[in-house]
Amino acid sequence: MKRRQLLLTLFGVPVVGSLIYGLFAKSKNQYEPVLANSPASNPPTSTESQPTFTDPSEEPLVRFAAIADTGVGSKDQYAVANAMLQTYQQKPFPFVLMAGDNIYPYGEISLAKPLFEEPYAQLLSRDIKFYAALGNHDIIKTNNGLDQINYPLFNMSDRYYSFTKGNTAEESIEFFAIDTNENAPWLEQLAWLDRQLANSTAPWKIVFGHHPLYSSGRHGSNPKLAAKLAPIFAKHKVSLYLCGHDHGYERFVPINGTTYIVNGGGGAPLYSFGKSPQTAFVSSQFSFMTFDVYQDKIITKAIATDGKVFDRAIITKIN
């Protein structure tokens, strides 16, 4: 985030801040959005997103939430946090994936209190664990991310790491957090990811990192990143890749079996999104996601600041 935008946000005029930030950021980026979308102008394009969808009556094996592009301390970040709390009170989730740009503008851990601990105080006080990945902003003034890795509330065992949830091995989900920054130790990390996924016995494998492989937002798709990661995801049947970086929401139809979701509406100023032929649903709004994991499916929900679900999908196992 630009310093000027942060100042405007801190002084309580995030809307103006967003506009100025948008002008500056736009001029710096080559990618031009095809069109600006709003939820109203952008109806679901997937049959999986129909409002007739009903939740199964049985409890999921695991439920979790996800956010990204959060750490600005804006009213929008608080609005998303408040919607998360409301959702939690109806359907508790024990942990949250946080896919980077955890602290703007430079990742400074000295700002963790106002930009992380305070916005999510209600969730943290309920012992909800946050598992973070490093965004581009998180490596600037943080000893290349080390300060965030060492910050206990981000629960990062390293700059890339995995953890498993679920009550039994047969009903487990393994999560893989990766560092998608250009200066990441790519050779090591890709070898680790390939090996870790190969050794995983979990029926569900979910990867999260900051940068999208595919996106119709301002930053757009990243062919270099896709060339590195997509073959590994396909080879090991990764069901879901969750990211942020483009500030808005976009879900793709499964690409070689993997569902890709940009979930960057956590509080930083929104970007305009276009759409691609592989876009299943896109809407640039402040939001977070929940995931209900069952033996045979994962139900994904994108939830707006009013607590309403604006996109749902069912991810099934890859054959």
179 lies in the binding site for Fe ion (CB under 5 A): no
Nearer to Fe ion, 60 or 209 (CB): 209
> Could you give the CA distance from residue 79 to residue 91 in angstroms, rounded to a whole number?
18
By beta carbon distance, the residue nearest Fe ion is 245
Select from 74-82, 128-136, 148-156, 186-194 the region that touches Fe ion (CB under 5 A).
128-136
Phi and psi for 63 in degrees, rounded to 5?
Answer: -125, 140
Cα–Cα separations (whole angstroms), residue 71 to 100, 106, 107, 116, 141: 9, 10, 9, 6, 14
- Asked whether 309 and 303 are in contact (CB, 8 A), the reply is yes
Only segment of 20-28, 187-195, 237-245, 294-302 that touches Fe ion (CB under 5 A):
237-245
205 vs 210, which CB is nearer to Fe ion?
210
In the complex, the smallest distance separating the C-beta of residue 214 from Fe ion, rounded to whole angstroms, is 15
User: In terms of CB distance, is 239 or 285 closer to Fe ion?
Assistant: 285
Residue 245 contacts Fe ion per CB under 5 A? yes
CB of 139 to Fe ion, least distance (A): 11
| 128 vs 133, beta carbon nearer Fe ion | 133
Report whether 276 contacts 249 (CB < 8 A).
Answer: no
Residue reference for tokens 């506009």: 19
Measured from the CB atom, the residue of 149 and 298 that comes closer to Fe ion is 149
Q: Between 203 and 267, name the residue whose CB sits nearer to Fe ion.
A: 267
* Cβ proximity to Fe ion, 39 vs 135, nearer residue: 135
Give CB contacts under 8 A, 24+ apart, made by 52-55.
53/312, 55/292, 55/299
Please identify which residue in 71, 135, 203, 265 interacts with Fe ion, judged by CB under 5 A. 135
How near is the Cβ of 229 to Fe ion at its closest, in Å? 17
Q: Which stretch binds Fe ion (CB under 5 A): 33-41, 99-107, 176-184, 192-200?
A: 99-107
Burial of 26 (0-12, 13-18, 19+ CB in 10 A): middle
Residue 136 interacts with Fe ion (CB under 5 A): yes or no: yes
Q: How far apart are CA 136 and CA 138, in angstroms?
A: 5
Determine, following the binding rule CB under 5 A, whether residue 101 of this chain makes contact with Fe ion.
yes
**Rounded to whole angstroms, how far apart are CA atoms 130 and 211?**
18
Q: In angstroms, what is the minimal distance from the CB of 221 to Fe ion?
A: 15
Q: Under DSSP, is residue 199 helix (H, G, I), strand (E, B) or coil?
A: helix
* Token output for 11: 């002084």
- Binding residues for Fe ion, rule: CB under 5 A, are 101, 135-136, 245
